[in-house]
Structure formats: C-alpha cells, structure tokens
Copies of this chain bind each other. A is one copy, B any other.
Amino acid sequence: MDFSSFLTSLGTSFIIFIILMLLFAWLSRRPGNSVIYYPNRILKGMDPLEGGPSRTRNPFSWIREALSSTEQDIINISGLDTAVYFVFLGTVLAIFVLSGLLLLPVLLPIAATDNNIKGSKSDVSNNTFDELDMLSMGNVTEKSSRLWAFLIATYWVSLVTYYSLWKAYNHVSALRAAALMSPEVKSEQFAILVRDIPPPPSGETMKQHVDSYFKAIYPDTFYRSMIVTDNKMVNKIHEELEGYKKKLERAEAVFALSKETGGKPEGVRPTTKTGCMGLLGKKVDSIEYFNEKINELVSKLEAEQKLTLLEKHQSAAIVFFTSRVVAASAAQSLHAQMVNKWTVTDAPEPRQVIWTNLSMKFFMREIRQYIVYVIVALTILFYLIPIGLISAFTTLGNLKKLLPFLKPVLNIGAVRTVLEAYLPQIALIVFLAMLAKLLLFLSKAEGIPSLSHAIRAASGKYFYFTVLNVFIGVTIGNTLFNTFKDIENDPNSAVDILATSLPGSATFFLTYVALKFFIGYGLELSRIVPLIIFHVKKKYLCKTENEIKAAWAPGDLGYVSRIPSDMLVVTLVMCYSVIAPLIIPFGVIYFGLGWLVLRNQALKVYVPSFESYGRMWPHIHTRILASLLLYQVLMFGYFGVKKFVYAPILILLPIVTLIFAFVCRKKFYRAFSSTALEVAAGELKDHPNMEQIYRTYVPPSLGSEKVDDDHYEDAISRLGSFA
C-alpha cells in the first residue's frame, strides 16, 4: 500500500465516521428512537433525554456528558464490571500516551534521517516502499548506534506498562473491595453453592441431608438450603405456558385493533389452527383456544412443580447463611475430607446461575475442561479448515448450484466482481461470529456454574485465537512465507527481507486499526443496525407492548468478543510501538474514541446482564502482560535481525515481565477469586431479609410465590410416612 492509497482509505473511513456521527446526532434527538439510544435510562425509570441533546440542541453534548461522568456514575448505572472495562480502556490509553510522548518525538526523526531502505532499494528491487516505511525502524541501518534509541524505547514501553498495570490492579482491587463491602444487601453474598453432595442415607430426604450437614458445622448462622432440582420438564411447561400467554395477549391486541380499524365495531375475532405451528389443523377461535390451553397448562405446571420439588432432587444445593462473613468464609473452606464431595464455591448471582451445570460431578467437570482445552487448541491450530469449508461452500459456483434462482443476478459483471472479492472475507466474518458462540458454548460445557465465569473463559480462548491467528498468522506467517520464497532466489537476502517486511506489515495493521475505530465505533455509536431492525419489527411484527419492548432490548456490552477484539489492538500497537511508532497515535485514538463512545453507550444504552465484581480484571491484566511478553520477545528477535550487538540487554525484559506477572498474581489474585473476610465484615445498611434473599434464587418456572416451605414440609412428611 503506498502513501496516497493509505491516506485515501483513512479519509474515506473518516468521512463515513463523520456521516455516522451526524446521523447519530440527528436520529438520537427524535423521540421515537429514544428506546434505541437511551434504553438503559428508560429501563432504570430515568428521563431518557434529561440533560440530553433535545434540550441543548448541541449535537455533540453526548461528548461532554461522557467526559463529565465519574467512575462512580458508571458503577451506579452500569455496575462494577463496566467500570473495570473502562479501567482497562483507560490503562491502555495511558500506556500508549506515555509511550507516545517519548517515542514519537525521538524515534521518528532518528528513523527518518537514516537511509537503510533507500540503500537496500538500489540492491534488492521488487520491494515497494514508501514514505510511511521511512518513519519506521526498518529505515535504520544495521549495527547503527541509532538503535540504542530504539532499545531504550523498548525498555520505556515496558516500564510504562508495568507502572500502569500495577496502578490499575491496585485501583480495581480497591473498587472490588468497595463493591463487596457495600452496605446494600446482595443475595449472592449470603449464599454458597454446594455441589457433589453424596446421596442421602436411606430414610432421609436430600434436604434433610443437606440441612443436617450444614447445621452441624454452622449451628448459629445456617439459615436454609435450596436443593437444585432437575427443572427440564417444568421449564418446558413453563415456557409453553408463557408462549400461550404471549399469543393470547397478541390475539387480544389484534381483536382490539380490529374493532377500531376493521369497520365493524364488534371486531373480528382472530382464529388459529391447532396443528403444527398454527398452519395446519382445525380452525378455532384464538382467544378461547389460548385461554383453554393456558388453563390446561397451569394445572399441568402445578403438578409438575410439585413433582419436581418432591422427587427431582439433584446433587447440588444453594445454602443460605444469616451472615455475610460466614458465607464468604464457607465458600473458601474445605468442608469434606474427600475433596470431591460437598465442594463449595461462592454462589453466583441468581440471574447468572447456569442451573443445568450445577449437578455435574467433580471429576466430570475436570475431564470436560481438559477435553474443551484440546478442542480449542485444535481449533486454533486448524482454524483454516472450517474457514476453508465455509469459503468452498460460498464460492460463486456453489452458490449458483445451490441457489439457482440467483443465477441471473450473479451473472451481472459488477456484482460478480464484488462478490468474488468479498466472499472469503464474508466467510471469515461469519466464521469469527460463529467462533464466539462456539467458544461460549464450549466454555459452558466445562461445567462452569455462572455465566460471567463462562464468558471470561470464552473471552480468554478468543484472545489466544485472535493473537495467534490474526497477528502471528498474518504478520509473521506472511513474512516468513514471503521470505522463504525469496530465499529460494537469493538466500543471502533472507534476513534483509525479514527486517524490512516486519515494518511493512505495520502499515497494514495501521490501516486495520484506523478502520476499526472509525467504522466500528461509528456503527457502535449510531446504532444504525439495531435502529433499522427495531423499526422493521415494530412496523410489521410487534402487536403488543411486550413484543415492542423485546424488540428494543439493548443487551449487554458483549465481553466475549469485545475484550479480545480490543486486546488484539493492544497487541498490535504494543508490538509495533517501537518498530513503527506511527501506530501509537492510532492506538491512542482507538482507545480514546472507544472510551468516549462506550462511556455514552454504558450510560445510556447497554444493560449489564450480570455483575461479577470485577473478576474480569485478572484476565485482562494477564493478557496485557502476554502481549507485552510477545512484544519483548519479538523486539529481541528484531534487534538480532538488525545485527545489534547489544541486543542481549533485552533478555532482561521477558524475565522482568514474568516476575511482575508472578508478583501481581501472588499479591492480588486471591482477592479476586474469593471474598476477603475484612471486606465481607463491612456494615450492612439494614438487617438482611433472609426470606427475600432465598426467593431470589427460586427459578421462575418453579413460581416464586408457590415455593414455600409447605412443599418441602409436605414432601418430607410424606416421605417420612413412606419410610
């Protein structure tokens, strides 16, 4: 890519970004769109436009709002996990700004005034270099004492990273402590999750078994236990019931509408067919039919609920304590002499419990974990195979065969050219989109009990995938490949080519980062896609209030793919920071703009679907260090390529990074995997309402009003009479 085409691409992206920004400013002021641009405020019962653009008429007032919001605002509105995500963005931003302050004014002139590329150009032809490459380390001649500046820069970036990460870990640790110490009563802080419960002795129910076990250990603070039941059947009936309730609501809405618009004041009663998907079978009156079905299912559900509570006990339970300290301490203590019995962990929040995983046995979880690791490792190594399959399936020829009606369209010259150019990329995008889902599915299959944990696990896998495949695959792979080709022709030039083509890839990634922030954050802020989907759904599909609400439900920040995607940029910018310092401003813009846009989205749009009290941080921290390590190793290699005799000075850096990682893990990590007791001992605002805490864990399908002790007492007494 030459300089002018780089500028063109940058300019085009920038113009698209400006258009998207203006679109956002215009669209977000229209009241009908407020459910798309302010859903979080609406769901929180706040005025969506308070202090917003409609009052000030300034299309950029969102920027002022984002900048003036404090960390505490974010924690209050979107929770600690979101605040931790901003600490991540801010930390990386700080690393890049501090690096750039030294590297840009120092390294660029040093590189620009040397003439390695011009010199080599006269010897090795066939390589196209341009103004951008003149500003990179590739332009410094071998063994030059100018390399000292680059070596010091390598140290500077590392030191800045250590400093920022240390500060950030301390900060996040304090945030987590403050959140866990909060005087608000939070259900999960009074509960523990018990798994691998051994079968009860005969004549005892599971509940008696669990109660007597925990009462013996915690005579004063044990409140109650909830045995996890196999809810598959009851969930199915509940879902069916909810489905019919929605259908009834919809039928009533249609009927009401027909009264107003159909001309007939008595309205047209909607009808439905009783067969498959409402398409076949006898035609009946919808409202009557659905009411009938609902009545039928309600009694069926009640019977099934009773049965579930009585007989479908699984080997897991949630145990409630009257004290936060005891619950925190219990979650960290070994309860049974055999470690694979009565295993105890923190209880996840009620909304993020993965119920179906709870009854999985100890060693089954271990085995599954290793199987998943193997599958992921194979996916990372052989990711080209699924992509190849997708690509093969999506070639024009195959498309024509499979979808013959597209033939006339595909035969148009322009369409064919575009499709031929973009089909592989589309295939890659489809595969990457599927990959996030696949990794989340695999992580859940490990037997992890909470959604936030599964998302952390999936995000970690995704990170290694992107770094290994996109970064190392594209850069080093390509470089080596090109090198080997050239080595065949001229074996002596191999090292030169490696040294000069590493900076060459930098330009490619520069464009990549720029595209990512202009187009990515432009789309993010303007929410064009959700807006269009919402309006289409509202106009053609939604009949009831609930359906409309479901159409604009904003979702959460989507950490599974968001964090690895940011981490890829961190890795790219870090690895090229010294080789091609021009990438640093792009990294700064990426994280600066990202901070700004997502601040707006966190305050106004996204609704977090769980709260893990910042447990994402150690994972982010470790991955930034992994990137740093990769950068240090690459730099060591690159200085070797430059035949710089003092390159061994760099060996110190990876060692320091490993020690730093070890010290951080030792010092901070345990407080993230468990709750420190000094924190749990914080004062509570008011006495916890244990009954209410207990109720939050009752799954909706078991009917929170129905689950009383009655059922259990019933069950116990009945079983007692059998025994």
| Known pairs A335-B678, A677-B333, A678-B335; A325 contacts B663 (CB<8 A) | no
> Which residues does chain B contribute within 8 Å of A669, judged by CB atoms?
339
| Known pairs A220-B220, A330-B329; A337 contacts B681 (CB<8 A) | no
- In the complex, A666 Cα to B337 Cα: how many Å? 12
> Which residues does chain B contribute within 8 Å of A677, judged by CB atoms?
217, 330, 333-335
Asked if residues B337 and A329 are in contact (CB atoms below 8 Å), the reply is no
- In the complex, A216 Cα to B325 Cα: how many Å? 10
Asked if residues B333 and A328 are in contact (CB atoms below 8 Å), the reply is yes
Residues of A with Cβ closer than 8 Å to B? 173-174, 176-177, 213, 216-218, 220, 325, 328-330, 332-340, 342, 362-363, 366, 663, 666-671, 674-679, 681
Query: Which of B220, B334, B340, B366 interacts with A332 by CB under 8 Å?
Result: B334
> Which residues does chain B contribute within 8 Å of A676, judged by CB atoms?
334-337
Asked if residues A332 and B333 are in contact (CB atoms below 8 Å), the reply is yes
Pairs A–B under 8 Å by Cβ, sample size 5: A333-B333, A333-B677, A334-B671, A334-B677, A335-B676
Give the Cβ gap from A293 to chain B, nearest Cβ, in Å. 49
> Which residues does chain B contribute within 8 Å of A679, judged by CB atoms?
337
- Measured CB to CB, the nearest residue on chain B to A669 is B339
- In the complex, A342 Cα to B677 Cα: how many Å? 11
Query: Which of B220, B339, B666 interacts with A668 by CB under 8 Å?
Result: B339
- In the complex, A54 Cα to B362 Cα: how many Å? 57
Asked if residues B674 and A333 are in contact (CB atoms below 8 Å), the reply is yes
> Which residues does chain B contribute within 8 Å of A663, judged by CB atoms?
363
Q: Which 4 pairs between the two chains have the least Cβ-Cβ distance?
A: A177-B337, A329-B333, A337-B676, A339-B670
Query: Which of B213, B335, B339, B671 interacts with A337 by CB under 8 Å?
Result: B671
> Which residues does chain B contribute within 8 Å of A177, judged by CB atoms?
337
> Which residues does chain B contribute within 8 Å of A325, judged by CB atoms?
217-218
Give the Cβ gap from A154 to chain B, nearest Cβ, in Å. 26
- Measured CB to CB, the nearest residue on chain B to A675 is B334
Query: Which of B173, B329, B337, B342 interacts with A338 by CB under 8 Å?
Result: B173
- In the complex, A337 Cα to B366 Cα: how many Å? 29
> Which residues does chain B contribute within 8 Å of A366, judged by CB atoms?
666
> Which residues does chain B contribute within 8 Å of A339, judged by CB atoms?
666-671
- Measured CB to CB, the nearest residue on chain B to A329 is B333
- In the complex, A218 Cα to B332 Cα: how many Å? 16
8 extra interface residue pairs, beta carbon distance < 8 Å, beyond A174-B337, A217-B678: A173-B338, A217-B325, A217-B681, A334-B677, A335-B678, A336-B671, A337-B678, A338-B667
- Measured CB to CB, the nearest residue on chain B to A332 is B333
- In the complex, A174 Cα to B336 Cα: how many Å? 11
- In the complex, A176 Cα to B671 Cα: how many Å? 30
Asked if residues A666 and B340 are in contact (CB atoms below 8 Å), the reply is yes
Asked if residues B333 and A678 are in contact (CB atoms below 8 Å), the reply is no
Asked if residues A334 and B173 are in contact (CB atoms below 8 Å), the reply is no
> Which residues does chain B contribute within 8 Å of A670, judged by CB atoms?
334, 339
- In the complex, A663 Cα to B366 Cα: how many Å? 9
- In the complex, A176 Cα to B338 Cα: how many Å? 11
Query: Which of B216, B220, B342, B678 interacts with A336 by CB under 8 Å?
Result: B678
- In the complex, A235 Cα to B330 Cα: how many Å? 40
> Which residues does chain B contribute within 8 Å of A328, judged by CB atoms?
333
> Which residues does chain B contribute within 8 Å of A213, judged by CB atoms?
678
- In the complex, A678 Cα to B340 Cα: how many Å? 14
- In the complex, A674 Cα to B669 Cα: how many Å? 20
- Measured CB to CB, the nearest residue on chain B to A216 is B681
Which one of A174, A663, A667, A678 has the greatest number of beta carbons of chain B within 10 Å?
A678
- In the complex, A478 Cα to B669 Cα: how many Å? 48
- In the complex, A196 Cα to B116 Cα: how many Å? 56
> Which residues does chain B contribute within 8 Å of A338, judged by CB atoms?
173, 667-668, 671
- In the complex, A681 Cα to B215 Cα: how many Å? 10
- Measured CB to CB, the nearest residue on chain B to A326 is B329
- In the complex, A325 Cα to B336 Cα: how many Å? 12
Give the Cβ gap from A331 to chain B, nearest Cβ, in Å. 9
